[in-house]
């Protein structure tokens, strides 16, 4: 098998880990709001959206809800010319395989699969888990490495072994380790590395990253897309300026467990993404205050990138 020496060009830039808009009380999915959110992202210039990812509270979705969310999200994203990635991760390999097959049938452009959580499989267990999922359907897989949530990390050695599968095309790296990211980029030149930490998007780009899967871009798609476009275009000075302008807001988005702060920020902006589902609870008053101050600090970015204007037209774009 001949492996590519360059990452797949589709998996570059900003992918938004989109929140799931629930109806009152978290009882269902608000598909109208989903359309508005995807329209907002498309207007902001993102490469794509991740549907039913962990930022989208995927562990609380029933299989029927997952299907509805992905089916509608794929259709909406494609109508607006952006990619749609489906979250297919599970701590059950059989369940992950089934989600992988369903995502392919629903027309997703790729699947984002998080490492099995709680089980804490050894490296061989993770390797077989992801290889089994990659074998299940002809759909690109984006590995998701986030030991802070799953309790176990994919090592660069295991990532290298997985990258030899033709369906494993990218990795969302959220270890917080530039050593890990740099080694993965060096050992797997054909694998697209996407930062899974908003505050590390530019640092990871410096060691070979080609974009991000972002929480911040739920609010600032134009700014985060602009950051990625800057470093991908070789404008490192411009990227550094944007990184510094985004840093305070990025940190504010994680003062409580994600997606609590980002849903609070969207509500403050008049883009209420609905309730959180238990065991997730709403932001505390202190967090709401902190998020409000962080938003004040990026008003100029909203104006400069069009993110504020995009908010006014996103719903019409999505429905049109």
Global pTM? 0.94
Report whether pLDDT(314) > 50.
no
Show which residues are catalytic. Answer: 144, 172
Report whether pLDDT(312) > 70.
no
**What pLDDT does residue 219 have?**
98
**What pLDDT does residue 3 have?**
59
* Lowest-confidence pick of 130-144, 243-257, 271-285: 271-285
- Mean pLDDT of all residues in 55-69: 97
Report whether pLDDT(317) > 50.
no
Q: May I ask the CATH class of domain 13-308?
A: alpha beta
Closest to 191 in 3D by CA, of 14, 12, 1 = 12
- What Å distances lie between residue 63 and 67, 90, 205, 253, 286, CA to CA? 6, 12, 35, 28, 35
Domain ranges of the chain: 13-308
Q: What angle do CA 20, 25, 27 make, to 5 degrees?
A: 65
């Amino acid at each position: 098998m001949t492996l590519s020496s360059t990452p797949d060009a589709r998996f570059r830039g900003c992918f938004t880990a989109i929140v799931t808009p629930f109806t009152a009380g978290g009882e269902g999915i608000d598909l109208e709001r989903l359309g508005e959110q995807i329209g907002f992202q498309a207007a902001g210039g993102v490469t794509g959206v991740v549907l039913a990812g962990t930022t989208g509270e995927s562990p609380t979705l029933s299989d029927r809800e997952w299907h509805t969310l992905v089916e509608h999200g794929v259709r909406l994203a494609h109508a607006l010319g952006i990619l749609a990635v489906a979250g297919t991760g599970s701590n059950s390999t059989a369940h992950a395989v089934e989600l992988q097959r369903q995502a392919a049938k629903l027309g997703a452009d790729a699947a984002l699969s998080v490492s099995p959580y709680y089980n804490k499989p050894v490296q061989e267990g993770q390797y077989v888990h992801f290889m089994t999922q990659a074998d299940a359907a002809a759909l690109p897989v984006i590995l998701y490495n986030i030991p802070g949530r799953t309790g176990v990390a994919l090592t660069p050695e295991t990532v290298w072994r997985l990258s030899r599968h033709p369906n494993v095309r990218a990795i969302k790296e959220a270890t917080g380790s530039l050593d890990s990211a740099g080694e993965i980029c060096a050992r797997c030149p054909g694998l697209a590395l996407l930062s899974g930490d908003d505050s590390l998007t530019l640092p990871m780009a410096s060691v070979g990253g080609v974009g991000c899967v972002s929480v911040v871009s739920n609010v600032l798609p134009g700014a985060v897309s602009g950051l990625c476009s800057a470093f991908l275009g070789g404008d490192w000075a411009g990227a550094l300026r944007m990184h510094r302008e985004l840093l305070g807001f990025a940190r504010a988005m994680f003062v409580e467990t994600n997606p609590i702060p980002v849903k609070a920020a969207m509500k403050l902006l008049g883009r209420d993404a609905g309730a959180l589902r238990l065991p997730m609870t709403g932001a505390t008053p202190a967090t709401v205050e902190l998020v409000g101050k962080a938003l004040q600090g990026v008003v100029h970015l909203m104006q400069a990138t069009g993110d504020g204007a995009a908010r006014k037209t996103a719903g019409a774009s999505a429905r049109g």
